[in-house]
Amino acid sequence: RSSDLLSRQYGMQMILELLPDLKEKIPQIKFLIIGKGDYEKALRELAEQKGLGGTVEFKGFIEDNNEVEKILCRCAVGMAPYVPFEENYIYYADPGKPKLYLGCGLPIVITRFPAIADEIDKRGAGIAVEYERENIKEAVVKLLKDDSFYKKCRENAVAFSREFDTNYILEKALKQTLCLKRK
């Protein structure tokens, strides 16, 4: 699964850079990284360099999708800080990670790089920001410090996720097909 690979294009390095500042505002913050790959070593080194031993947990590759979902359902925010550079295929794709986060009821902090970012922002299922340090930091703090805003984003995330359910998609397609035949 490509979502299990750790790569520079996913932007986890930005979160690790921000964590010391976030920890000052939210002392109990933890950051969980699921996946493996060539970039894992660089991320581990950055976490160590920043003194984030008790704040960052690397889970590695998890074979069982159900286990990944169980872990995510115990988290507070899904992070999708995709790095906006031309060679990043995410720009041309429909990434699955944001949909997984939505399905687990997680409000998302996402960079305005993939198309789904604007939809997440518009539907209030999280916050879409530019790939800039202060913007990402402010979005995380807003979600984790403003309980009523967080609750609303979480409700919106769950509602939005229903649109990615296979039964919903098939039902919608069937209705559209039937409407076309009636004309």
pLDDT bin (cut points 50, 70, 90) of residue 183 is low
pLDDT tens-digit series, residues 69-98: 999 999 999 999 999 887 777 777 888 899
What long-range pairs does 13-18 form, CB within 8 A, spacing at least 24? Answer: 13/42, 13/43, 13/46, 14/81, 14/83, 14/131, 14/133, 14/136, 15/79, 15/81, 15/136, 16/43, 16/46, 16/47, 16/50, 16/52, 16/56, 17/46, 17/50, 17/133, 18/133, 18/136, 18/137, 18/140
pLDDT bin (cut points 50, 70, 90) of residue 169 is low
pLDDT tens-digit series, residues 114-146: 989 999 999 999 999 999 999 999 999 999 999
**Percent of the chain topping pLDDT 70:** 88
Residue-level pLDDT at 7 = 83
